[in-house]
Amino acid sequence: MQPAVKGVVLDLAASVCATGVVFVTAVGTSLFSDMRLVLLMMAVLFVTAGLVRGGAPQANGGLKALLLISVCLLVFGFASGAPRLLLGLLVVVSWTAALAGISARRGWAGHPARSVATVVAVLGVIAVGSEIGAPVIVRRLLTFVANKPAIEFSVVRLDGGVVNSSELKGRVAVIDFWATWCPPCRQEFPELEKLYKRYRADPRVVLLAVDVNKEGETPEKAGAFVRKAGYTIPVAFDAKDAVSRLKAEGYPHLLLLDKAGRVRLEHVGYDGAEHFVENLSREINKLVAEPL
C-alpha cells in the first residue's frame, strides 16, 4: 500500500475510533446535555487524535485534520440533522483542535515547550469561548418567539381536578409538557422547579408541568416522579390531548402564554448551558408588564 494511501486509511480509522468514543459518551453519560461540555470534549478528543496521527509522514495539516474529524461529523452532524449553526460550530472546534494536535506533534522534536503551549492555548480558548458563547447559541437554537392565537385546552391535575385554559386568562402562564421517560425533561425539571419557586407567590403568574399521555405515561408515574424528587411545582396529566391542540411537539416543550392566552414563546428541548431560569424570567416579566 502506498504511504499516502496508508496514511489516509489510518486517519479514517482514527476518526472511526473518535466516533466510537463520542457515541459511548453520548449513551453512557449526561455530558451531551450541556453544549459547553460537548465542545470541550470534542476539542480534547481531536487534539488527542491530532497528536496521535501528527507523527505520520508529512502531509497537508489542514486536510489531515479534516480526515480526522470526518467520520464523527458525518455520523453525529449531517446524519443526525443537527442545526447548521451547531454543525458549523462543531466543525470549527473539532478541526481547529485536530490541527493544533497535528502541529504540536510535528513541532515536538525541536520545540516541545512550544508544542505544549499550542495545545494548552487552543484548549483554553475553546473552553473560554464555550463558556461565553454556548449559552447564547443554545438559547437561539431552543427558543422561538411566537404570537399564536389563544386555543382552548384543559388538563387534569393529579388530584383529579380539571384545569381549563379559560381559568388562566388574565395571568401569564408557563405550560411545560414533559414525560418521565424523557431524559432532557428530567434534566430540565430542577430548573423548572427553581422558576416555579421564583414566581409561586406572584398571583400574576401560573406555572404548570403537564405530563404527556404518551408511551405508557400515567398520572401515577408522574406523581411518583415528583414525590420522589421532592418537587413542588403543580403537575397535571394531559388526559384531554392538550399537547395536540397546542401543537407542542418534542419534549420538553414549554409554552409561555400571555394574559389573553396567546402563545408568545416556545422553548423546545433542554441544554444545561442555557441560563434557563434567567432567560425565562426575563420573558415572563415582559408579559406581566403588558396591559391586558
What does the pLDDT look like over 96-123, one tens digit per residue? 999 999 999 988 888 899 999 999 999 9
Which positions ≥6 away from 74 have C-beta within 8 Å? none
Residue carrying the nine cell digits 421564583: 198
For 3, the grid coordinates are 504511504
Query: What is the b/e burial string over 90-108, where b = at least 16 CB atoms within 10 angstroms of the residue's CB?
Result: beebbbbbbbbbbbbbbbb
Domains of the chain, start order: 3-141 (no CATH), 149-289 (3.40.30.10)
Residue 60 pLDDT greater than 90, yes or no: no
Which of 55-69, 74-88, 125-139 is least confident?
74-88
pLDDT in tens, 161-183: 999 999 999 999 999 999 999 99
**Mean pLDDT to the nearest integer, 84-107:** 90
The closest of 232, 234, 290 to 261, measured between CA atoms, is: 290
Which positions ≥6 away from 125 have C-beta within 8 Å? none
- The DSSP H or E segment spanning 147 is strand 143-148
Residue type, 16: V
Number of DSSP helices (H) and strands (E) in the chain, helices first: 9, 8
For residue 1, what pLDDT band results from cuts at 50, 70 and 90?
A: low
pLDDT in tens, 2-15: 667 787 888 888 88
Which positions ≥6 away from 280 have C-beta within 8 Å? 174, 195, 254, 256, 267
Question: What is this structure's pTM?
Answer: 0.87
